[in-house]
Amino acid sequence: MHRVTRILRPPFYLLLMAFLFCAGMPDALAGDTIRINGSGTCLEMMKPLMKAYGKVSRGVSFNMEKPLGSSGAIKALLDGALDIAVVARPLKPEEIARGGKLKPFGKTPLVIVTEKRTPLKTITTRELEDVYAGRTLKWSNGETIRIILRPNEETDTKILKHLSPGMAEAITKAHQRRGLMIAMTDPESIEAVSRIAGGIGTSTLTHVLVGKLPLKVIDLNGVKPSRKTLKDGAYPLAKEISFVTTDRLPNAASRFLEFVYSKKGRAITEKYGVLITIDGK
């Protein structure tokens, strides 16, 4: 079996639980502190929302640690360590049985990104298949292509596999190739792509726009990823964004979600590449 280089992450879920239930818990409960976590993409979307909400609700503070991912955040929520989980996948039956409540919000283009100096503006599905399958190993300037993978079970990987049967096969082959990096979280993935010469991977339009990341967003089959192209079906790759709560939702967190779903909250997220998919939109 070929070895694959993994970008390891600390056990953020365990750290968060220790923080909240030990030294941090009294402060978290001492006022209107809203505890939020989720996938990296979703947490990036929350940053401008929290900033705007803080201007109109000055008594509220937010506790948002490094991203746990959708599954980690849902687990933390159901264990009482979070008030809100912002996720990129549906709830599993066992998560619903434990009291998880999913509220859809929108979606954002999943985008192909490269390191800034990569001589690429657009890529076809077939060319992308060749890159991931290892049939194309260098960019046009002679730079070695360095793929940053995500784990097989991650949402980004599943979305990219659905691009075509050939892409699903190519990603499977990529995971079997020697020496390719696997980034465990969204931030780790984009950080690796941005710093490694010839790097290529995935992110979301929202993550790139909010973070003002030093990445090049690549058109797919000549189509620029945007809210418009996602809405009209021209751009095929999308990552869902939903909120998960329980019956234990505090009033402060409930009011914040009302702001997120309000006209002003939606307008903020639309500015950063989110296509609202509720209320017939």
Please answer whether residues 65 and 17 qualify as being in contact, where contact means their C-beta atoms are separated by less than 8 angstroms: no
Please answer whether residues 164 and 130 qualify as being in contact, where contact means their C-beta atoms are separated by less than 8 angstroms: no
Structure token pair of residue 54: 């803080």
What is the pLDDT, as a whole number, of residue 25?
37
Is the pLDDT at 24 greater than 60, yes or no? Answer: no
Give the pLDDT confidence of 237-254 residue by residue, as tens digits: 999 999 999 999 999 999
CATH numbers and ranges of domains, the chain: 9-107+240-276 (3.40.190.10), 108-231 (3.40.190.10)
Structure token pair of residue 228: 């418009």
Please answer whether residues 215 and 204 qualify as being in contact, where contact means their C-beta atoms are separated by less than 8 angstroms: no
Structure token pair of residue 236: 């095929």
DSSP-derived 3-state class of residue 223: strand
- State pTM to two decimals: 0.84
- Give one word for 82, left, alpha or beta, with left for phi > 0 and alpha for psi -120 to 50: beta
Give the pLDDT confidence of 109-143 residue by residue, as tens digits: 999 999 999 999 999 999 999 999 999 999 999 99
Please answer whether residues 239 and 47 qualify as being in contact, where contact means their C-beta atoms are separated by less than 8 angstroms: no
